Structure 1
Amino acid sequence: MIDDETPVLDNHLHLDPDNNRGIDAVRDFARVGGTHLLVVNKPSWHLGVEVESGEDFRYVFERTIEIVAEADDVLEGRAWPVLGVHPGLISRLVDDRGYSPADARDLMRAGIDVAAEYVESGEALALKSGRPHYDVDDAVWEASNAVMRRAFERGADLDCAVQLHAEASEDMREVAEWAEEAGLPRHNVVKHYASGRLEGPIPSVMSEKERLETAAERGEPFLMETDYIDDPDRPGAVLGPKTVPRRVNWLLEAGHDEAVRNAHVETPELVYGIDTRESLERA
């Protein structure tokens, strides 16, 4: 069972600062043993922002930073913001708003640059980028890869990690190589919504038992997440905020103590340079 000395980190979830559960979801997480969160900003349009310039992302980023500060007050450990541009924005821009792929690319890269300002100032921990997980035409695919490469460049400049939203895959070595070409080590690249097995980036494993068992048995660095979306229109979507602590208990009961240490102490330090034990003890 989780004890007072065991950090429990959900590496990727969303909190809506204005609607749905917000801090109540954090309280649920903490009530069952959760201690640390990486909170990723919701897609800009989910907060009512139809971006036209990089500056338009600031509202989304600052509202995320504000709710993360509230989460900090609830947790025994800490919460950190992860800021960036959801890759699905390119389809919204091209298909719904008439942007060319090149113009959409430039707008999204400008958003990455603004997110990087918050990492540089210490207000955010990492960047988020990626590419569509669904079929798109070649021009949109190339533009999306260009946005992701910009995130790698900024991550290298700032010595920070980049979380990726991308297609389902167990082999993303090419993407990791792109990061390394930009100067960002592959252990600073995280694929969110990962299975238990991944070549290239660090997998942030969806906290389903089968995926976690695979990750635990592999013994490679991994993280755990729910991708909780805090959407009032989709209350049961993805996994709930209590899931990671409950799965940590399940792993401990199955004798996977080392896997828990890997996912909640060693890999967070490797990827983000954060000390989850120290921040828990200080609290």
Structure 2
Amino acid sequence: MDSLKTPILDNHLHLDPEHGQGIDAVKDFIQMGGTHLLVVNKPSWHLGINPTSGSDFDAVFETTIDIVETASEILPGRAWPVLGVHPGLISRLVDERSYDPETAAELMCAGLDRAASYVQNDTALALKSGRPHYDVSESVWKASNRVMKHAFRLGGEVDCAVQLHTEATDDLTDIAMWAEDRGVPAQRVVKHYAGGTLAGPTPSVMSQKDRLETAAIEDEPFLMETDFIDDPDRPGAVLGPKTVPRRVRWLQQNGYETAIEQAHIETPKMIYEIDTESTLASNS
């Protein structure tokens, strides 16, 4: 595989060393030219963990931290963990475990507190939160927004970016204002699974050609992701780990050099304060 001579970062994917491809997915990414990864912990229930306290999330986080360390040993660049509580947990707590929404929110906030402690001691890079992308009751919606605001408060306290899982939309200016009010600049709020344009936060664009072309033409800060879920029971779900390097090659072939630099060098530096060029050089 010819070298693309640029850092290549997948901003949002999952790795499951026990049930999924784990490090083999990282090797696939590297084979296609990938260099850097932001690895988001899988939802707690995907790992068989049913938390009842904030500390119960530690096992979820440690699984991600461990495989990030292994991935960094073989990547041309390195990987970083992004830790948090999947917003879909509130439905599992309310619908399956008979929590009321407010009590469920308290548990999720406690999990975010634990995630922030890893960011505080430089074990993790950023937080992950959000709200359901499907229809929920008004009480669950309000509780979910409360959890997300708590994530912003924590992000402000530990000075980190916050990745969000939300409903599909091209306008989240209200959420960006909530973040700003709690100490997180709007640009450091990252909407995962985004389209090519987004008002408010920074889009982490799903690496489909139409979305990427829109983002490239917009000439605004953006990131690229696959949301690879590493689930053997859903092998065709979302995008595979080879996709981002392939799409970078496609962008290059179509003359979008500036967009490549934006997504893989400038925007990561702006949002996460990471230098994909120097970390690539130091490992070469």
Give the TM interval when normalised to the shorter protein. Answer: over 0.9
* Distance in structure 1 (CA, Å) of the matches to 2:184 and 2:28: 35
Q: Secondary structure at the match of 1:26?
A: helix
Alignment of 1:169-188 (within 5 A): 169-188=169-188
State whether structure 2 residue 189 is matched by structure 1 residue 189: yes
Alignment of 1:1-283 (within 5 A): 3=3, 5-283=5-283
* Distance in structure 2 (CA, Å) of the matches to 1:15 and 1:261: 26
Q: Secondary structure at the match of 1:103?
A: helix
Conserved 8 A contact 1:194-1:203: yes
Letter in 2 for 1:202: T
Q: Secondary structure at the match of 1:259?
A: helix
Question: Alpha carbon RMSD of aligned pairs, Å?
Answer: 0.9
Letter in 2 for 1:67: I
1:183 shift after superposition: 1.2
Q: Which runs of 4+ in 1 moved over 3 A?
A: 1-5
Count of aligned positions: 283
Conserved 8 A contact 2:129-2:165: yes
Letter in 1 for 2:217: E
Unmatched segments (≥5 aa) in structure 2: none
Letter in 1 for 2:113: D
Letter in 2 for 1:269: K
1:110 shift after superposition: 0.3
* Distance in structure 2 (CA, Å) of the matches to 1:3 and 1:148: 40
Conserved 8 A contact 1:5-1:281: no
Letter in 2 for 1:228: F
* Distance in structure 2 (CA, Å) of the matches to 1:78 and 1:187: 23
* Distance in structure 1 (CA, Å) of the matches to 2:70 and 2:83: 17
Letter in 2 for 1:82: V
Letter in 2 for 1:188: R
Q: Secondary structure at the match of 1:73?
A: helix
Q: Secondary structure at the match of 1:227?
A: coil
Letter in 1 for 2:29: F
User: Identity, % of aligned pairs?
Assistant: 65
* Distance in structure 2 (CA, Å) of the matches to 1:2 and 1:246: 11
1:104 shift after superposition: 0.2
Conserved 8 A contact 2:223-2:267: yes
* Distance in structure 1 (CA, Å) of the matches to 2:233 and 2:117: 32
